[in-house]
Amino acid sequence: MTERLTPELIEAGRRLFAGTHAFTIGVSQLEQLPPTKGIEIAFAGRSNVGKSSLINALTGTKGLARASNTPGRTRELNFFSIAGGRLTLIDMPGYGFAKAPRAETRKWQSLMRAFLRGRPALSRVFLLIDSRHGALEADKDMMDLLDEAAVTWQPVLTKTDKSKPGDLARIFPDVAAIAAKRPAAFPLVHSTSSETGAGIDALRAEIAGLL
């Protein structure tokens, strides 16, 4: 999406994430959802795809979101206040191969569905896809849910530092083609690495553009 970036938008993204950020609440039941304030953006993806690491990279705040090598650690909707509440980032529970009791998995998956269908302030969901594997069936199931909920979503490839160049060159257009056929997708793909910082400025600029 580099052709859409301008120096002004990149600077707006830098300023947006240059301030103080804070974790506000972890929600495991709909009744706990906080009132909406400003724009909300959520991060969805399979367990261990790197949602928490990406939030930490965007904010430049190590440990703001709890990252873990254990799949399925995030079992709540975790809310983060950005730029004094102008923006709220939401780390959604991972899906796919989470190691959790079946009843608990159903519980937070139900919460995720209800949240998507009933949160009018939710401006966009960034759907994180591991750049080493591309869009798997679990990711396509999530795309179905987002399309059904009529929530605008956009694909973001993660862990590009761990992906072989040939694989990335193949997977990037594959994901773009899948998104182009989806009714609720914003079909421009970001490539990111939370380790090296690749693509982080572009994603910040994209988010700043939503404000």
pLDDT in tens, 11-67: 999 999 998 899 999 988 888 888 888 899 999 999 889 999 999 999 998 878 875
Question: Of 34-43, 68-77, 83-92, 176-185, where does mean pLDDT reach its minimum?
Answer: 68-77
The helix/strand/coil state of 144 is helix
CB contact set of 193 (below 8 Å; sequence gap of 6+): 158, 159, 160, 161, 199
Write down the pTM of the prediction: 0.90
Q: What tokens were used for 59?
A: 């904010």
Domains of the chain: 2-210 (3.40.50.300)
For the stretch 79-134, pLDDT in tens is 999 988 889 999 998 887 655 667 766 776 677 788 888 888 899 999 999 999 99
Do the beta carbons of residue 141 and residue 154 sit within 8 Å?
A: no
Is pLDDT above 60 for 68? no
How far apart are the C-alpha atoms of 58 and 158, rounded to whole Å? Answer: 13
The per-residue pLDDT for 19 is 83
Residue 116 CB-half CA count within 13 A: 29
Q: What tokens were used for 142?
A: 């999530």
Beta strand 77-82 pairing with 22-27: antiparallel
- Residue 137 pLDDT grade (very low, low, confident, very high; cuts 50, 70, 90): very high
Is pLDDT above 60 for 70? no
- Residue 1 pLDDT grade (very low, low, confident, very high; cuts 50, 70, 90): very low
